Amino acid sequence: MPAGQALLFTSRRDDADAALLAAPGVAPFTWRRLLRALRDPDLEVLEVAEPLWLGEWRRALRYIALARAVRVVRRRRVAVATYAIENLDARERVPSRVARLALAVSLLSLDAVVFGTSGAAENYRRAFGWSLRRARHTVLPPRLDACSVCAADGTPREATVLFLGTPSERKGFPVLLEAWALAGAAERGWRLVVADPRGSSELALPAGVSVTVDPPRAQVHAMLRSATVVAMPSVRVPGWREQIGLPLVEGLAHGCRVVTTTETGLADDLRDHPAVELTTPRDPQSLADGLLRAMRGRVDVPPGRRGHTKSDVVAWWRSACMRRW
């Protein structure tokens, strides 16, 4: 977490990083904690949940109103910023025209927006372009270069395709199993390893496929260091579309080649990446062809920095608001 940033969380995911939750400045949300933060004379930016995260955005509007009130009393400017990654069409996320109009009007309360993918930026532009004109905004895809946690330990690459996440329909796992057979991967000496955080499904697995249930983070890093390919063939289902695809980010950060579909939010930002194979969603043959290309390719981390960290996002917010004011 960037220096000088505090995090008040209203809920937590099952796979939340325990180290982050234990860090100084991270605490469950209370109105008292928020008021104390807003009264801090050094406060420059209030980050709120993205607007298309509807439940949290309704809460965020109350936080913004409080921040505005405190700002008037203390006569200090506090910018309101958000990081947006929703890839599902806003018209499907918010079917009602009246509700979309109300949401568009509420976006006028934002001073700065960073989109995590080009897909998210285009999604918001189509639905709320006029209401975003007031805010400064840009696209800063996540960092894709070498993992900052792992040191080079000489771990040899194995003939392994790694699937990180719950082996569900929306993550494209049934299609992956079909593609695995079409590619003849097991006959070529390859293994498909599933790192399932829940272990809740009972799967009939073909030859060469195994599941590791709820591996700790250290083991996940080790699996990424030894794997050759990371596969995440997400598909769109009603009410959901892959926002970013963190397994892809982690795979690239560990020097793996990755195979995904055009449904992931990062697809447009990864089209020219030398370690990425984009395939057609729900198409086993396209996915099989992508797997074969990835299996035959070299495994190298592209040189140089690519993408952005949260510190870069915060720095952009601060710079954008200073230019605006």
The answer to whether 113 touches 316, Cβ cutoff 8 Å, is no
Stretches where the chain sits below pLDDT 70 are: 1, 14-17, 152, 200-202, 299-305, 324-325
Q: How much of the chain is in helix, strand and coil states, percent to nearest 5?
A: 40, 20, 45
Residue 149 has a pLDDT of 80
**What are the φ and ψ backbone dihedral angles of 324, each rounded to 5 degrees?**
-70, -40
**CB contact at 8 A, 38 and 70:** yes
User: Which of 249, 290, 287, 255 shows the shortest CA–CA distance to 270?
Assistant: 249
Q: What are the tens digits of pLDDT across the range 195-215? A: 998 876 667 788 889 999 999
What is the four-CA torsion angle of 44, 46, 50, 54, rounded to 10 degrees? -160
Q: Which residues pair with 45 in a beta bridge?
A: 79
Separation between Cα atoms, residue 10 and residue 40, nearest integer Å: 21
Task: Write down all domains in the chain, each with its CATH number in brackets.
Answer: 7-140+308-324 (no CATH), 160-296 (3.40.50.2000)
pLDDT at 235: 95
Q: How many residues does the chain have?
A: 325
pLDDT tens for each residue of 105-132: 999 999 999 999 999 999 999 999 999 9
CA distance 76 to 70: 8
CA distance 216 to 181: 29
Question: What is the structure's pLDDT at 16?
Answer: 66
What pLDDT sits at residue 77?
A: 83
Identify the pLDDT of residue 280: 97
**Per-residue pLDDT, 121:** 96
Instruction: Give the gyration radius of the chain's Cα atoms.
Output: 21
